[in-house]
Amino acid sequence: MAAAGAAGDVRRHRAARRPADRQRRHCCLRRSATAQLSREPFAAATVTDHAVPLILSATKGALLVLTKLVTLIRRTLLCAVISGSAISSAELLPFVADYQAHYNGMEVSASRQLQRDGDSYREQLSMRSLLGSVDELSHFSLDANHWPRPHSSRYSLSLLGINRDERQQFDWQALEVNYRRGDKQRRIALEPHCLDLTTHRTALVADLRQRRESLDYCVINRGKRKQYRYTVVGEERIDTALGALNTLHVSRQRDADESRNTELWLAIDWDFLLVRLHQFEEDEEYRLELTSATVAQRPVAALPQTLNTPLDPTGN
C-alpha cells in the first residue's frame, strides 16, 4: 500500500509539472520565433500571444522543409571538377558555383567552391535562408592512384537558435573514422576505398569522365556508412538560367522499398558541373538549379561556349 501510495504521489507530481514544462518550452520557442521575426526588415514590431501559435506552427513547418532541403543539397551537389589533362596529373580545377533550391515555397541559396590548399584541397559549402544558415568545410587529397582520400570535415548548422556542430576525422593509419557531435563520439571502421560526401562526388565525376559503368561508392557520412549507387540515363541538351547546355543525365539508384527518386544533370562541356537536380518523393518535389558558376576562373556560359573554347580578344 505504501509503495502504491508513493507511486501515485510521483504520478501526481509529474502531472502537475507538465503544464509548467510545456509553458517553459512554449516561452523558449516564442522567444526564438520573436527574435527571428524582429531581425526581418518587414517584421511586425511586436508579437501578440494570439500570433504565437501561428508563428510556432509555421516555424516548425519551415524548419522541416529547410532540413529536407539542406540534406538534399549536401548529398547531391557535385563537387570537384576534373579536366581531361588533370586526370593524369592528379589535379582538380578550382570552381565556384551558386544554386537556388525550391520546395513547398521555401527557397535556399547555396554556394560551393573548391580551392587548392598546398598538396590537398578544401571545399566549402554555404547555405542561407531566412531561418538560418548551414556551413560545411571538407579537406581531402588525391592518392597515388588519383583516388580522392578524405581527411576531415565539419558541419555547422544554425537555425532559429538551434546550433549543431558535427566533425569527422579520417585516420588512415588506424583505418577508422572519429565522428563527433557535441559531447557524443563514435568510431567507425574504415575501408581503403571509403569516402565522405565530398569525395564520393569527386570520385563520381572522375568515373563519369572515364565512362565507367560501375558507379558504386562506400560513403561515411555523419558517423554512418552507406552505399551510393548511380546509373547513367543518357546525354541531354537542357535550358538553364545560363542558357542551353549539353548535360549528362544521371540517376541515383535506391532500394526497392524506397519511394525517393533523384535525378541529376551535369554539364559535359564544363567538366560535369551539376546544373540541375530533381528529387521526387511521393507527392513532394525538390528542385535545385545552377544560377552562376566559374570553372578555372572562366564563367560558365551557354553553347557554343565550352571550357575549352578559346577566349576572344575581349576576354569573354
Q: What is the pLDDT of residues 29-85, one digit of tens each?
A: 344 444 443 443 333 333 344 443 443 444 455 555 556 666 666 666 544 444 443
Whole-angstrom CA distances from 259 to 66, 104, 173, 264, 279 are 20, 18, 39, 17, 10
Residue 306 domain-assigned (yes or no): no
The pLDDT of residue 138 is 93
Amino acid at 9: D
With CA atoms as reference, report the closest residue to 305 among 237, 246, 226, 236: 246
Residue 305 domain-assigned (yes or no): no
The pLDDT of residue 61 is 55
Residue entry with cell 581531402: 140
Residue 27 domain-assigned (yes or no): no
The pLDDT of residue 123 is 93
Q: What is the pLDDT of residues 254-264, one digit of tens each?
A: 776 677 788 99
Residue 81 domain-assigned (yes or no): yes
DSSP state letter for 124: E
Total tally of structural domains belonging to the chain: 1
The pLDDT of residue 30 is 42
**200 three-state secondary structure:** helix
pLDDT means over runs of 10, the chain (316 residues)? 50 48 44 42 38 44 59 56 43 90 81 91 89 90 90 90 92 96 93 91 88 90 91 95 96 77 92 90 84 95 87 50
Domain extent for 69: 63-299
Q: What pTM does this model have?
A: 0.72
Residue 57 domain-assigned (yes or no): no
Residue 22 domain-assigned (yes or no): no
Residue 280's CB is within 10 A of a number of other CB atoms, namely 13
Rama region for 105: left / alpha / beta (φ>0; ψ in -120 to 50; rest): left
Helices (H) and strands (E) in the chain, counts: 4, 15
Buried b (16+ CB within 10 A) or exposed e, 189-221: ebeeebbbbbbbbbbbbbbbbeeeeebebebbb
With CA atoms as reference, report the closest residue to 150 among 106, 192, 93, 186: 192
